[in-house]
């Protein structure tokens, strides 16, 4: 226990010092990692605990971002209002759309969420009176906490990661609760879960709403960091990159979501130093991870730890 506490203390010190010792561009990437962690957590809950492939996260991410942009720039309201409005709209939409489409399963459900993302992306374009269309909405203010303006990555980093840790704690709480048990029962066998009187559709809808909430929070965080939102940030491509986070990191593991977010944020950045073929290299890296590490990065790490533990036990015998 003492050793575990020591590890946590060391990790916290490193976390707190990180933005001050790394260059500003890396601090910026760490901010994006935090934002993507929040968005990826929702997808991870759906994928890892319900077996649902959600390709609509960019929709809720966009709603959160546009709500923050509209409330602060167009209406002059405080940042917190944008967060709340974005979350309320996203959760309501997720409930209204989730009820009918979550009756679907497997590929059909994945295609349903993809359609939702495509429709939302088109609407973000078309409703330019609300979203600014291609030109977007600029001048979104930085978050101000009692006069302390989070106007640089090293400051915003702490805010984003505190939100990310809170979301992780909430997700952990959900997974470890009775609801988490029901989710896993449903994932492993719908029929068996239904025979235990689990309301499958209601349960799926609840998790979909939680996923939308995380997506919206991530979108609001993004809007206040970049200070500008436009349709280019909320396309179907973005939904796919959010789905990659749990697939790469490990869908059932919460630290895996962080690992996945680090992968999708940092790897393209480093590969871009290798010239115009960087997107091809990123694609190859994705294929390599999916083929060689089917349980994701955390799954591979757990296997290595289990192997060492088994070896240790053998030596002890």
Partner 1 sequence: MSMSSVARLAGTVVLVATCAFAAKAQTSGEPVKIGAIVSVTGAGAGLGIPERNGMLLAEKTINAKGGINGRPIRLIIEDDASNPDTALSKANELLFGQKVIGLLGPSLTASTVAVGGVTHANKIPQIAFTGIGPAVEKERKCVAHVLPPQKLNAQALLEYAKSIKAAKVGVLHDAGYGNVVMAEIRPIAESYGVKLVAVEKFEVGATDTTTQAAKVKAAQPDAVFIIATSATPFRNVKQLQMTQPVVAAIGSSSYEYVNAMGPGADNVVIPEFVVGEDPLPHQKAFVDLYKQTYNSTPKNFETAGWDAVHIMAQAIGKAGPNATPQAVCDAMRGPYSGVLANYDFAADDMTGIPLSSYVFSKLVGGKYTRIPFRIAQ
CB of 279 to partner 1, least distance (A): 5
- Expressed in angstroms, the distance from the first to the final Cα of the chain is 25
Binding segment for partner 1 (CB under 8 A), chosen from 43-51, 88-96, 206-214, 264-272, is 264-272
Closer residue to partner 1, CB minimum distance, 273 or 315: 273
The token pair that represents 20 in the structure block: 């001050």
Binding segment for partner 1 (CB under 8 A), chosen from 80-88, 177-185, 194-202, 227-235, is 227-235
Q: Name every residue whose Cβ is closer than 8 Å to that of residue 265 and which is 6 or more positions away in sequence.
A: 29, 32, 33, 36
Alpha-carbon separation of residue 126 from 160, 169, 219, 277 (angstroms):
31, 38, 20, 33
Taking CB under 8 A as the rule, does residue 284 contact partner 1?
no
* CB atoms inside a 10 Å sphere around CB 89: 17
Taking CB under 8 A as the rule, does residue 134 contact partner 1?
yes
Site for partner 1 in 69-128 (CB under 8 A): 122, 125-126, 128
* H/E run at residue 149: strand 148-149
Quick one: which of 184, 268, 293, 302 contacts partner 1 (CB under 8 A)? 268
Find out whether 210 and 39 touch, Cβ atoms under 8 Å: no
Name the DSSP class of 141. P
Quick one: which of 19, 40, 132, 249 contacts partner 1 (CB under 8 A)? 132
Closer residue to partner 1, CB minimum distance, 30 or 203: 30
Binding segment for partner 1 (CB under 8 A), chosen from 7-15, 17-25, 85-93, 284-292, is 17-25
The token pair that represents 298 in the structure block: 């955390």
The token pair that represents 271 in the structure block: 């590969």
Quick one: which of 278, 286, 293, 299 contacts partner 1 (CB under 8 A)? 278
Alpha-carbon separation of residue 92 from 97, 209, 211, 285 (angstroms):
9, 8, 12, 37
Quick one: which of 84, 89, 133, 184 contacts partner 1 (CB under 8 A)? 133
The phi, psi pair for 133, rounded to 5°, reads 55, -135
The candidate with the shortest Cα–Cα distance to 249, out of 95, 65, 57, 41, is 41
CB of 198 to partner 1, least distance (A): 39
Site for partner 1 in 199-218 (CB under 8 A): none
d(CA 216, CA 112): 20
Closer residue to partner 1, CB minimum distance, 31 or 167: 31
Quick one: which of 144, 151, 188, 199 contacts partner 1 (CB under 8 A)? 151
Binding-site size, partner 1 (CB under 8 A): 35
Closer residue to partner 1, CB minimum distance, 21 or 135: 135
Find out whether 160 and 225 touch, Cβ atoms under 8 Å: yes
Taking CB under 8 A as the rule, does residue 32 contact partner 1?
yes
Question: For binding to partner 1 (CB under 8 A), which residues are involved?
Answer: 23-25, 27-29, 32, 122, 125-126, 128, 132-139, 151, 153, 222, 226-228, 230-233, 268-269, 272, 276, 278-279
């Amino acid at each position: 226990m003492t050793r575990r506490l020591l590890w946590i203390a060391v990790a916290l010190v490193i976390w707190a010092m990180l933005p001050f010792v790394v260059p500003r561009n890396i601090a910026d990437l760490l901010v994006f990692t935090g934002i993507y962690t929040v968005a990826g957590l929702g997808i991870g809950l759906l994928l890892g605990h319900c077996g649902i492939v959600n390709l609509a996260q960019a929709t809720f991410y966009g709603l959160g971002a546009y709500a923050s942009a509209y409330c602060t720039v167009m209406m002059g309201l405080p940042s917190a209002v944008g967060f709340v409005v974005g979350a309320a709209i996203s959760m309501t939409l997720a409930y209204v759309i989730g009820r009918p489409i979550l009756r679907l399963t497997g590929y059909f459900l994945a295609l349903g969420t993809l359609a939702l993302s495509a429709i939302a992306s088109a609407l973000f374009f078309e409703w330019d009176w609300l979203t600014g269309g291609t030109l977007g909405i600029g001048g979104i203010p930085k978050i101000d906490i009692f006069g302390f303006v989070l106007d640089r990555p090293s400051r915003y980093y702490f805010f984003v990661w505190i939100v990310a840790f809170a979301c992780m704690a909430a997700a952990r709480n959900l997974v470890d609760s009775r609801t988490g048990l029901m989710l896993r029962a449903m994932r492993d066998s719908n029929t068996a879960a239904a025979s235990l009187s689990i309301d499958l559709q209601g349960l799926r809808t609840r998790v979909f709403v939680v996923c939308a909430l995380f997506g919206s929070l991530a979108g609001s965080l993004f809007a206040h960091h970049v200070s500008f939102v436009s349709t280019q940030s909320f396309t179907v491509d973005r939904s796919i990159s959010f789905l990659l986070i749990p697939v790469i990191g490990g869908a059932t593991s919460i630290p895996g979501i962080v690992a996945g977010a680090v992968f999708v944020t940092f790897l393209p950045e480093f590969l871009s130093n290798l010239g115009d073929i960087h997107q091809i290299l990123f694609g190859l890296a994705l294929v390599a991870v999916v083929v060689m590490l089917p349980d994701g990065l955390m799954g591979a790490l757990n296997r290595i730890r289990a192997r060492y533990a088994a070896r240790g036990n053998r030596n002890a015998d």
